[in-house]
Amino acid sequence: MDLNWYVLQTKPKQENLVESYLTLANIEVFNPKIKEIRLIRAKKRAITVPLFPCYVFAKLKPTLFDMVIYTRGVRKILGINGRPKPIKESIIETIKERINGNNHIYVPEKCEHEFEICAGDYVVVVDGPLKGFVGVVERANSHKAVVLLMSMDYQVKAEIHKFLLRKVDPEILE
């Protein structure tokens, strides 16, 4: 039976734990990360955070679904109508092409100009590992936006820095 990539939803801050357990079970896991500069205790520090908070990718056969679902830290395998649905290998390859060898991408500490991006805006990612993906902004703060990526067979949320996004006219997407 063929192996396919699936999106696993994890419990908050459990992405690395899920990756460890599944790797021990000889399951290929893809858990890309972002290296950011944050102010911690009045000092700038480089920290590593998941590119997709609460999500990891795993290459599975259907016979492994039950084992994966009961892995500590896993909430569910994303799909349609309660049935896991694989994602295209090209999506994983696209993300892998755009990150460095240790599954990290560096994000600058701040952008030079403001981007007026609000909930409901259609956006395209213009740089970084998700370059070219299109989505709808679910919510935004001063620096980041949570975007529902529509390039996949179903929507996946991703927290993306605003300077990596550009508004697009929804009519162009049809």
Domains of the chain: residue spans and CATH? 4-107 (3.30.70.940), 122-169 (2.30.30.30)
Mean pLDDT by 10 residues, the chain (174 residues): 90 96 96 78 81 92 95 94 89 79 55 64 82 84 81 71 81 58
pLDDT of residue 114: 45
pLDDT of residue 112: 43
SS (H, E, C) the chain: CCCEEEEEEECCCCHHHHHHHHHHCCCEEECCEEEEEEEECCEEEEEEEECCCCEEEEEECHHHHHHHHCCCCEEEECEECCEECCECHHHHHHHHHCCCCCCEEEECCCCCCCCCCCCCCEEEECCCCCCCCEEEEEEECCCEEEEEECCCCCCEEEEEEHHHEEECCHHHHC
